[in-house]
Every structure is written in structure tokens, then in C-alpha cells.
Structure 1
């Protein structure tokens, strides 16, 4: 928590204003009981109306001054706390943006979302409470003790008993609460994960009639979180009644022993009333501290989780962009091997080949053979374990990631579109793309026909995730997004799978016509999609089973022959 609160440095002027106003507020509140004692002892007892009116006016003025200070202080604490949380969310977002795929998968998407929203919200609430109370409570407590002792030192011994009792209660709450709050945040991550899977997989759940199963799964996660929350809240619920008992017993003790002092003539009635007020201020200041400490465990757990993200160092080192542009887009794999984190065996082993600009290279193979992984390595979503990948004769790690990816047009296996217009989504590939460039990309990707049928054309809205489009339409728009960029390297990761054979053939024909000097790599399952490629690489269990043209592989590669044979049967039945 302390590490995060260092982020308040940019707001030191606001914090200083809060501290100054808090000091004035405390002085005002400490002065009021003394004025009240004077009214009782010198006004009411002596029946001096004029004195009562004068001191009463002073009390109103002091109370109004304290209230104004409290209001302005609360405003600034809210402003500083909200701004601090805004900066923290921004830091978290930028940090997550810098993560590679490995770091994001390690933490988990639902956990990252929860940490950026719920955990930061917890820290924000406690920060505002700290700014309002962490200075107010000690000042009020110390000031109250000083004023109480000045009234009657012997009677102040009551606080010698009461304060340690309250301190012990606070200590026990912290000791029991912090571990449970950490567990609770983890269980909240789990609940968010289940909910996220239900929302993203709603079609699969309904198609397999698994609604009841998912309800049970959510119920278990919800009950698990609830049981932990109940344990925490039981501990917190006991705190306030115990404190009120201590407060009320202290008040009774003050009145009891104070009455004896009055009876002996050692104190006046007004001093007793003032002493009760100072006692209340001391006790309430300790209760404010307890409220901070009640919220601190959860905020501390949240702060630890935020710091975990901010302290993660990306496994891939990146160079500062020097604006170096890839001229040709030639790619070479030299004895490349790669394993995913915690995988039992390598996904790719000993891959060596060269991909030339102006040529189309296809990669085909069975499920799990490592086809998509090759494209992930070229895009540098991961770094290789052994060997090296060269782009234009230079190791891929020597480029800044932004410079490398600027030269790549990547179309993922699962088409991803964002909420906004069709034009906005296409411009994701090139921010300053003109309307004519967008229309050209739509034409090449075979998207123009269905876009023209929409009432607003390229200004038509796409819902989040592209749910108002078919799978084939989403694929074609994601291809158009890559085409508008006009990169040196095109990576198509099984991105024709949702297209019918006619659209697939027309698209490949348009690509061959429009892309003449770029390096095109296509990962595909269908032989019909890649048989016209200049070079076909066949992968089998992460190793190269054959390299050549369609005709050459039909003669020399048994793995390719099996793929063609199996798909030939399928194509005859279509």
C-alpha cells in the first residue's frame, strides 16, 4: 500500500491543503467543549444572559468555520483520491498493454480486469478515507487528551484503560482480516472468470443444453466467495458493537467519577460536560482509526495484487524504436525450436526455411502441428527457445516490436472486430486511410458486396465483437484491415476457413493480382486454398515433413498425400 501511495506526489499541493484545513477543523472542534463549559459555569449558573449570547455566538462562528473547513477538505480528498485512481488505472492499462501473450495468460484475463477495476476501486476508497481521517483522528485524539488532562488529570486515567482495549480490538481485526481479504479477492477473480466464460461461450452452452451445469458452476463459485465474505464481515461486524460498549462505559465512568469530583468541589459541572465531550472526541477518533484499519486489510490485499502486475517484467525485451523500416520482408528460420510455457514437449523442433518477398508460402499440417505458432513467432508474440528468426537478414529481436509489427499485416485465426463503424475497423490497420483506400481493401477482400447492401455502407455500425455479422463477413473485414496497411509481410492464420469455395477462390485471385512484391504466408486447413502457392511447407508434430509445390509434394510427401486424399473425399461429397 505504501508503494502505491507514493503516487500521490503529483498531488502534494492538494494534500497540503487537506492537512491545513484538517488542522483548522480539529482546533475548532477542540475549542467548542471549552466554550460550552464556560456557558454552563459562567452563564447558566450565574444567570448571565449577555454572556451566554456572546459565547453562544462564538460557538456558532467556530462551528461554522469548522464545518466549512470539513467540506472543503472532503472535496479536495475526493478530488485527489479520484485523480490518484485515474493515474493508477492508466498505469495498469499501459502495463498490461506492454505484456506479451505469455504474461497475459499467466495472470489470466478475468484477473487482470478485476485488478484494474475492483482492486483499484478499493485502493481509491481507502486513499480518500486516509486523506480525510488519518490526520484528523490522531490530531483529534492527542488534542482531546491534552484538553482532558488540562481539565482534570486524575479523571483522564479512564483513558489509560479504554485506549489499550480499543487498540487490542483493532489489532485482532487486522490480524484476522488481511488473510481473508486476500483469499476473497482471489475468489472474486474466479467468479469473474466463470461469468466471462458464460458470456463468451453462450452459444456453445445453449447448443449443448448446458445451462443447468453452468448455473451450478456459477452457484459454486458464488457460494465460495459468499462464505469467505461472510467470515470477513462477521469479524468486522463485531468490531463496532465492542467499540460502542467501550465508548459508553467510558462515558459512564467519566460521569460517575466526575460527579464525585464535583461533589468534592474539585470540578465544575461545565468542566464535566466538556470532559465528556473530549472523551467522546478521543473515542470517536479511535473509532475512525478502526474504520481505516477495517478497510485497510482489503485495500492492502488489493494493493498487493496491483503491485504484482506493475512489478511484472515482460519476458521479451524490446528495443527503442529507431524508425528503421523493413525494406523487403524476407524471412528466414534457422533451426528454430519453441515450447509454450509449462508445455511437456516442444511445439516446433528444428525448423529451417526461407520465405521470399513476392512469393506466396503456405503452411499446412494436422491439428497441433504448430502452423499458427510459426506466425506467432514471426509476429514476435513469443521468443524462440533455440535457433533464430531473421527478417531482412537481421535477427527479429534486434527490431523494436513496433517497427517489426508495422511491417506486418496479421489476420488472426479468430476474426476480432471492435465496436464502431466498418471504416473505423478498417482504419485500425492504417489510421489515415482514405475512403478510396478503404473501398479498395473491401473490394480485394470480397467484402464490398455485402457492405454496399448496408444502409450506411462503410459507416455502418459494428457491435462489440462483431456479433451483428456472420463468421465469413468478419473474416473478410479482418482481411481488409490487413490489406489497407499495405505491409511488407502478410500473415493469414487460417483466415479463409469461414468462406465458401467460390469466395475463397475469388479472394485468392484478387490477392495474387494486388499483392505482387510482399511476402505472403498463409496457414490453412484446406488444400484448395493453398495448392496454387509458390511454396508449401508441410508440418507434422512440429517438424517439417516436406517443402515444395503442390505437384512436388503429391509425389514426395506422404503426410501431404494423406491430407489431399482425406480432403478429396470431402470435396467429392460437397
Structure 2
């Protein structure tokens, strides 16, 4: 609630005032009929009529105020909750994020919080109004006629049992609906993210069918639950009509027997409606709270999730240099059958250019993700600048390590805004200098608005190679001590890639550069090359050393050279055919 707690308190107070006045007004109307209209006492009618109008106005103001305060308090509560949940997600490590799918987190931040917001507004207004209305109406009906109020003692328990059965049966269905929403959001998310692939493979029909299946799953469960809840209205109508008939029949006999006045019977009709409608409101409240409980549990699961990577007590806030050391490091992903890294040890000096190569699944990406502590190791020690990464302040460590992924992300905004993620205070000249080193400046200058060009969501209006060069420029603006390129030049031609690496070596000699690549030509000039195999280091050496001593490296080199020769040959054959 935080800053909205007073609104949350004022709302039920105003509701209580509104209910007290609403239940007193029928009693007063009955008196006006019995002591004013029936005997023809105009003075009594005028006096208490003015009081009646005044009470109605106060009740109206109290009700409107309660509605205003409850709606603002609920909107504020949802705003705080949404902020807290999003902030919690930002604290998560990769391991935490794996607990919740992207679609599930989106559902929790939208649909689930909306349900909880509605339930909160109901809780501080209608959830106070319904029971108070029921209690005060029962009290006032007993005050009017103890004999007539006995009818409610029979009707109310019957209605309560019926409503409980309806709610108890429908609740589990609502809980299942939200899991279906997760599936629907996942289908939509995958479809939008992979729209180019879908169109390339002409899979629109299949994707539409997947969406229909997910949507129909929600419809089937939700409609079944709603059909049960729809029984509320006819049951309530039947009970109201039955009770009104009983009150009319018993009341008529009591009036004839001179034990009940006409005005009192009118009051009892009002209290009958109030009592039964308050029960109906209670059933709707319980339904809404039951539905929101499922949402609240899902939200709470995110809020209670403890980040697996947190700052230590008294963290180190300075990174001395870009040296990296792995000492007997092993690492396993959650639920993985085998470790991704097993007993890895290596030393990287500050300013070195290190290449990493190996087959898919050999542990290359896992190795470099441990340096900025995106995951924690299972065993051993990873050190940066001579200090265990677990001792660093996370912000300090990650500011010192810039990581560029193969499928890195650009965000909606100008090129300037995207690159300044690396340094929010970078000048235009610094941004352009980073662009030049990353070989991005040339194509940016050809754009109509240059660095003020707007990038669409996900970088949809730039090519894959351009996106990679922009993300490298963004990383360089951090001025990191360690730059990690995780296959992040795969979409760049070899000439441009060579210019990028030359710029990094000549202009940033003190920065440690670690490059994962599938192309030996990309890392042949590295100070040392690490050959990964099955989660371990198979060999370490220079390009020439590995060509002489390492079988895996030799096979990779031979295979890539053969592919290049085949490509050149095919190109030559094609040119010869064209010439003929």
C-alpha cells in the first residue's frame, strides 16, 4: 500500500457511514408512513422528510467518496505491486529466470496484477459493504419485527449453502485458466519474435492453429466456470421472490391481526432486498477473491524467489585490471544431467587477446558467462583482477566486463540512445569513436539521420551484421577492462571483422579481449587460443602451436580450409559458365 494506505483506510470508513445511513433510511421511511402519512400528520412528514433527504445526501457523498478512494488506492496498490515484481525480476540471475518462462512473467505482470487490483478494490469497499449491510439489515429487521426476521433465519442458510457449492466448484477452474494464459502468451511471444522465420517457412496456418488451440483452452475452462457462476443470478432471483412472497403473506396476516404496521412491512421489504443482495455480493466477492488468490500466489512466487546471485557483505568496489583466472572450475546448470564445465583451469593476462574455439555444446559460452558472474560456479574459483568474482559488488564487476552475444539485442530508440547504454554520459564524439572502432560508423553515416536514426524494436530495420557492429560499439563505450565477444561477429564479413580486431588491438591495448568464434581465421592472431571439448579445456596455445600439437584444432582447420577451397572452386566454375 505504502503511500496509498490512508486512502485504503478512509474508503472502508466511508463505506461504514454509507451502510449505516442506508439501513436507517428504510426504518425512517416506515415511521413516516405509519406516523405521518396514515394519520395525515403533515408536520411529521415535512420534518422527517427533510431529515430523510439530508441522510440520503450524506449517504450519497460517503458512497461516492468510498468509490473514489478505493479506486485510487487499488490503482496505486497495483502500480506498487507491478513495480516491485518488475524490480525483483531485474535482480534475478539467469538461473532464477529459468524458473519462470517469459510468457509466464508477462502474464503475472499484466493479467494477474489486474485481477489482484480488482480484488483489492473490492476488499476495501464492497467486501466491507456487503457484510455490514447484511448485519445492519438483520439488526434493523429484528428491531422492526422479531417474528418476521425469523424468515431470514430459514432462507439465509439455504442460500449460503447453494452459493458456497457454486463457488467451491468453480474456483479450481479459475486457477487452471491462468496456466492457459501462460500458454497463450508464450504462443504470441514466440510468433512475434519469430515472424520472419514463420513467413520464410510459410507456417502461418500452423501458428494460427496453435493460437486457436491455446485460445480455445482458455474458452473451454473459463466458459465452464462462468456457466457455474451464472447460476448465482437465477438462484438469487428465486430466493428473493420466494422470500418476498413469504414476507408479504406473513406480513399481511400480521397487519390484519394488528401486530404489524403498513410502514413496518414496507421497511421489511427493503431489508429483505438488502439482506439477500448483500449475500449475492458476498458470493461475488468470494468468487473474485478466489480467482485473485490464484493470481496472488503466482505473483508471490516471483516476489519470494530469492536471487541466486547477490552482493556479498562488504563487497570489493574496484577492479584492478583485466586478468582472468579459472582455478579447478566446475559448473552445472539446473536439472542438467552432466556438468557443463568440469575442472577448468586457465590464466589470462591483462590486455591479452584470447580466442576460444570448440564444437557446439563444448562449454564455450558457459565459460565466459562465469566471468561477469551471470551464473555462479558449482566448484572452484573464478577471479578477475586477482579477486574472486563472488567478492565483487555486482555493478562494479559488470561495469568492468562488457559482453557482446551473437544474438544481442537493440532497443527501440535512436542509435545514440542505444549506444549510450554503455555510457549514459558519453559525448557525441565518444559515441562516434566507438562506432568507428566497431566499423559501424560507415553505414551509420549513410543513414538519413545518422546517429539520430530510430532503431525499431529488436533492431528490425538493420541487418544482422549491422546489429552486431552496433552492439560491439555499445560495449566499447563502457570502457571495460574485459571485452567478451561471444560469436558476435558471425554475421560480419572477414574483412570487416579483421578491421574490428585491428582497431581493438591498436587502440585498446590494455583491454583484455576474449573472443569465441567458429572461424579459425577470426582468432588465428590471438595471443593464446583455448580449445574446448566436452566441458573441459583440451589445449591452449598459439595458432601455430596448436596446428602442430592438437588434433581437434588440426581437424577444424582442415575442414574450414576445404570449405573455403570448395567455395572458391564453385565460384570459379560459375564464372566460367557465365563466360561461356
Please state which band the TM-score falls in when normalised by the shorter chain: over 0.9
Per the TM alignment, residue 173 of structure 1 is displaced from its structure 2 partner at its CA by 3.1
Name which of 422, 431, 436 aligns with 1:429: 422
Query: 1:5: which partner in 2?
Result: none
Name which of 284, 292, 300 aligns with 1:299: 292
| 1:407-435 deviation digits (Å, cap 9, x = unpaired) | 01111121211111111111101111111
Query: 1:137: which partner in 2?
Result: 130
Query: 2:527: which partner in 1?
Result: 534
Q: How does 1:27-176 map to 2 (within 5 A)?
A: 27-176=20-169
2:369/2:375 contact within 8 Å kept: yes
Partner SS state of residue 345, structure 1: coil
Per the TM alignment, residue 78 of structure 1 is displaced from its structure 2 partner at its CA by 0.5
CA distance in 2 between partners of 1:235 and 1:123 (Å): 22
Per the TM alignment, residue 541 of structure 1 is displaced from its structure 2 partner at its CA by 1.7
1:389/1:395 contact within 8 Å kept: yes
CA distance in 1 between partners of 2:147 and 2:551 (Å): 100
2:459/2:467 contact within 8 Å kept: yes
Query: 1:4: which partner in 2?
Result: none
Name which of 499, 514, 538 aligns with 1:545: 538
Name which of 470, 473, 482 aligns with 2:466: 473
CA distance in 2 between partners of 1:87 and 1:237 (Å): 33
Which range moves more in the overlay, 212-221 or 74-83? 212-221
Per the TM alignment, residue 9 of structure 1 is displaced from its structure 2 partner at its CA by 5.8
1:321/1:403 contact within 8 Å kept: no
CA distance in 2 between partners of 1:188 and 1:15 (Å): 30
CA distance in 2 between partners of 1:28 and 1:324 (Å): 63
CA distance in 2 between partners of 1:68 and 1:54 (Å): 22
Query: 1:179: which partner in 2?
Result: 172
Per the TM alignment, residue 184 of structure 1 is displaced from its structure 2 partner at its CA by 1.0
Query: 2:220: which partner in 1?
Result: 227
| 1:448-502 deviation digits (Å, cap 9, x = unpaired) | 1111112222121111111011101110010000111111111111011010122
Per the TM alignment, residue 393 of structure 1 is displaced from its structure 2 partner at its CA by 2.0
Per the TM alignment, residue 198 of structure 1 is displaced from its structure 2 partner at its CA by 0.9
Which range moves more in the overlay, 539-548 or 8-17? 8-17
Asked if residue 413 in structure 1 is aligned to residue 403 in structure 2, the reply is no
Asked if residue 376 in structure 1 is aligned to residue 369 in structure 2, the reply is yes
CA distance in 1 between partners of 2:283 and 2:4 (Å): 26
Per the TM alignment, residue 267 of structure 1 is displaced from its structure 2 partner at its CA by 0.7
Name which of 198, 210, 213 aligns with 2:191: 198
Asked if residue 567 in structure 1 is aligned to residue 552 in structure 2, the reply is no
Per the TM alignment, residue 60 of structure 1 is displaced from its structure 2 partner at its CA by 2.1
Partner SS state of residue 107, structure 1: coil
Per the TM alignment, residue 15 of structure 1 is displaced from its structure 2 partner at its CA by 2.5
Query: 2:578: which partner in 1?
Result: none
CA distance in 2 between partners of 1:320 and 1:194 (Å): 42
In structure 2, the CA distance between the partners of 1:316 and 1:322, relative to structure 1 (3 Å rule), is closer
1:177/1:297 contact within 8 Å kept: no
CA distance in 2 between partners of 1:23 and 1:389 (Å): 62
Partner SS state of residue 378, structure 1: coil
1:137/1:289 contact within 8 Å kept: yes
Which range moves more in the overlay, 48-57 or 326-335? 48-57
CA distance in 2 between partners of 1:551 and 1:240 (Å): 83
Per the TM alignment, residue 440 of structure 1 is displaced from its structure 2 partner at its CA by 0.6
2:232/2:280 contact within 8 Å kept: no
Per the TM alignment, residue 529 of structure 1 is displaced from its structure 2 partner at its CA by 0.8
CA distance in 1 between partners of 2:12 and 2:555 (Å): 78
Alignment root-mean-square deviation, CA: 1.5
1:320/1:400 contact within 8 Å kept: no
1:178/1:301 contact within 8 Å kept: no
Name which of 262, 265, 274 aligns with 2:267: 274
CA distance in 1 between partners of 2:92 and 2:541 (Å): 37
CA distance in 1 between partners of 2:208 and 2:382 (Å): 47
Name which of 213, 225, 232 aligns with 2:206: 213
Which range moves more in the overlay, 287-296 or 315-324? 315-324
Per the TM alignment, residue 317 of structure 1 is displaced from its structure 2 partner at its CA by 3.8
1:411/1:479 contact within 8 Å kept: yes
| 1:327-353 deviation digits (Å, cap 9, x = unpaired) | 112111112122221122122222111
Name which of 475, 485, 495 aligns with 1:492: 485
| 1:207-253 deviation digits (Å, cap 9, x = unpaired) | 11222222222222222221111121111111222122112211111
Partner SS state of residue 370, structure 2: helix
Query: 2:574: which partner in 1?
Result: none
Query: 2:395: which partner in 1?
Result: 402
Structure 1-normalised TM-score? 0.96
| 1:83-104 deviation digits (Å, cap 9, x = unpaired) | 1111101110111111111111
Partner SS state of residue 142, structure 1: helix
Q: How many residues align?
A: 567
Per the TM alignment, residue 366 of structure 1 is displaced from its structure 2 partner at its CA by 1.2
Query: 2:14: which partner in 1?
Result: 21
Which range moves more in the overlay, 36-45 or 513-522? 36-45
Which range moves more in the overlay, 172-181 or 354-363? 172-181
| 1:280-314 deviation digits (Å, cap 9, x = unpaired) | 11112111111101211110100111111111112
Which range moves more in the overlay, 540-549 or 145-154? 540-549
Per the TM alignment, residue 545 of structure 1 is displaced from its structure 2 partner at its CA by 1.9
2:357/2:531 contact within 8 Å kept: yes
| 1:379-400 deviation digits (Å, cap 9, x = unpaired) | 2111111221111222111112
Per the TM alignment, residue 54 of structure 1 is displaced from its structure 2 partner at its CA by 3.4
Per the TM alignment, residue 35 of structure 1 is displaced from its structure 2 partner at its CA by 2.3
Asked if residue 355 in structure 1 is aligned to residue 348 in structure 2, the reply is yes
1:454/1:460 contact within 8 Å kept: yes
